[in-house]
Amino acid sequence: MEILKAHGLILLATFLIAGSFIASANVTGQVHPVSLNLLRFVIASVCSLPTVLLNKQYRRQIPSVFPRSFIISFFYCGYFVCLFAALLTTTVLNTGTLYTLTPFITALLSAVLLKHAIGVKRTLVYMLGAVGTLWVVFKGNIDAIQSLSFNSGDLLFMLGILSMCGYTLALKLLYRQDSVTVLTCCTLVGGTIWMAIAMLIFGIPLQWDLLTTGDYASMLYLAIGTTLVTSYLFQKASVTLTPNNVTAYIYLSPACVAVLDYAVNGRMLSNTILFGIFLSVVATFLLQAMSYFEQKKLSV
């Protein structure tokens, strides 16, 4: 039952993250993305701190939890910093394409650090998931896939992908039966510090005064819905699931964006897109089923 609940949490987090793409489109482009992400972490930290600071039991855990959360948040923020730095010289399409490598790279790192075997069958399923995700990203346009070319920005984004893999693995490796509430709060505070450091290093101005009321409404969703809540959901689920289980849901991300775009903006899903979504769903289901039976075999 706990495993099923954890999968539900990750699926919910995947939909919330998909909603962030729609919310991000509403935020003005006048403010640097790193500055916007700092604002996300600040709002999320402010919202989570009272719950921890006003609880005596939670406060006692902060000294032991924060150093580990600071490491976790380094990987979490590293992904965003690499993404925005990479987008100066590459495209969103390229980053979306490379991001499909995240589950497989996580599986490789898990094999080394956590001794989780991959195997030929699992590798083939990872390839199926990548194909399904790319099919949605490129809307089934084979010519667009063939004309894809990579540059130095893409190499930088690969560091970001490694950072995201590191974030998922760090959640598993550094967990010590802590309160997930405290772990989430400390991770968000750590993220605020890392983002502030990144802004100082790159000399990026805040410019929060340029944001409109509508922009702040979108930022509240990004901060609470896709930073505070999803951080909690990921950390809660990572206690039960393996990093491979968690990252497999990345294949559903483009599908979730397409479904939410239809629900919010009424954009119809073509048969081509539905085919890609079908492949992504099948791959995700197969990966979860394989992990389930492997864990069940180990427990016997």
Q: Give the largest Cα separation in the chain, rounded.
A: 60
In the predicted structure, residue 176 carries a pLDDT above the cut 80: yes
Instruction: Answer yes or no: are the C-beta atoms of 219 and 89 closer than 8 Å.
Output: no
Would you state the pLDDT for residue 300?
Answer: 54
**pLDDT at 25 (0 to 100):** 67
pLDDT at 111: 86
The model's confidence at residue 56, banded by pLDDT at 50, 70 and 90, is very high
- Per-residue pLDDT reduced to its tens digit, 108-133: 888 888 877 788 888 899 999 888 88
Neighbours of 255 (CB within 10 A): 24
pLDDT band at 166 (very low <50, low <70, confident <90, very high): very high
Choice between 48 and 137, residue whose per-residue pLDDT is larger: 48
Nearest alpha-carbon partner for 103 in 293, 291, 295 = 291
- List Cα–Cα distances, 90 to 34, 182, 203, 297, in angstroms: 17, 37, 21, 44
Q: What is the pLDDT at residue 77?
A: 92
pLDDT in tens, 179-195: 999 999 999 999 999 99
pLDDT (tens digit per residue) in 217-267: 889 998 999 899 999 999 999 988 888 889 889 888 877 877 887 777 777
